[in-house]
A and B are shown apart, each in its own frame.
Chain A
Amino acid sequence: MDQFWNVTSELLKGFGQNCTIFGLTLLMAIPLGLIISFGSMSGIKPLKAVVRTFVWIIRGTPLMLQLFVVFYIPSLVWGISFDRMTAAIIAFVINYAAYFSEIFRGGIESIPKGQYEAGQVLGMKKSQIFFKVVLMQVVKRITAPMSNEIITLVKDTSLARVIMVPEMLKAAERFTMQGLIWPLFYTGVFFLLFNGLLSLLFSYIEKKFNYYKG
Chain B
Amino acid sequence: MSMLQVENIQKSFGKNEVLKNISFSLDKGEVLAIIGSSGSGKTTLLRCINFLETPQQGKITVNGNTLFDAETFDKVSERELRRRRLHFGLVFQNFNLFPQYKVMENITLAPSLMAKEQIRENGEYMGAKTMRQAQQAIRDEADQLLRKVGLYEKRESYPCDLSGGQQQRVAIARALALNPDILCFDEPTSALDPELTGEVLNVIKGLKSANSTMIVVTHEIGFAHDVADRIIFMDGGLIEEEGTPQQVIDNPQSARTREFLARFNQFGD
Contact = CB atoms under 8 A, between A and B. Distances in A.
Are A and B part of the same complex? yes
Interface of A: 112, 114-115, 117-126, 128, 132-133, 136-137, 140, 211-214
Interface of B: 50-52, 78, 82-83, 85-86, 88-90, 92, 94, 96-100, 109-110, 113-114, 158-160, 174-175, 178
Contact of B96 (A118, A124, A212): A118
A212 B86 contact: no
Contacts of B175: 121-122
A124 B79 CA distance: 10
Nearest to A114: B96
B114 A123 contact: yes
Contacts of B88: 121
| Max chain B Cβ within 10 angstroms of own Cβ: one of A128, A136, A137 | A128
A211 B86 CA distance: 32
Contact of B99 (A124, A126, A213): A213
Given A123-B114, A125-B82, A213-B160, A117 B96 contact: yes
A132 to B, nearest CB: 6
Contacts of A124: 82, 110, 113
Contact of B86 (A112, A117, A123): A123
B160 A132 contact: no
Contacts of B50: 121
| A contacts with B: majority SS | helix
Given A125-B78, A128-B113, A114 B160 contact: no
A212 B109 CA distance: 17
Contacts of A128: 113
B211 to A, nearest CB: 22
The 10 closest A-B pairs by CB, nearest first: A214-B99, A122-B110, A118-B96, A114-B96, A213-B160, A121-B90, A212-B158, A136-B100, A123-B82, A123-B86
A115 B101 CA distance: 13
A120 B98 contact: no
25 contacts: A112-B94, A115-B96, A117-B52, A118-B92, A118-B97, A118-B98, A120-B51, A120-B85, A121-B88, A122-B175, A123-B82, A123-B110, A124-B110, A124-B113, A132-B109, A132-B113, A133-B109, A136-B100, A137-B100, A211-B158, A212-B158, A212-B159, A212-B160, A214-B99, A214-B159
A78 B97 CA distance: 55
Contact of A121 (B85, B97, B99, B159): B85
A212 B99 contact: yes
A143 to B, nearest CB: 13
Nearest to A136: B100
Nearest to B84: A123
A49 B3 CA distance: 47
Contact of A133 (B51, B83, B98): B98
Nearest to A122: B110
Contacts of B100: 136-137, 140, 212
A34 B51 CA distance: 29
A114 B90 CA distance: 12
| Max chain A Cβ within 10 angstroms of own Cβ: one of B52, B99, B114, B158 | B99
Given A117-B92, A122-B109, A124-B113, 7 more contacts: A115-B98, A121-B85, A121-B89, A123-B83, A124-B110, A132-B109, A137-B100
A122 B99 contact: no
A125 to B, nearest CB: 7
Contacts of A118: 92, 96-98
A27 B174 CA distance: 37
A211 B161 CA distance: 10
Given A140-B100, A212-B158, A214-B159, A120 B178 contact: no
Nearest to A214: B99
A64 to B, nearest CB: 40
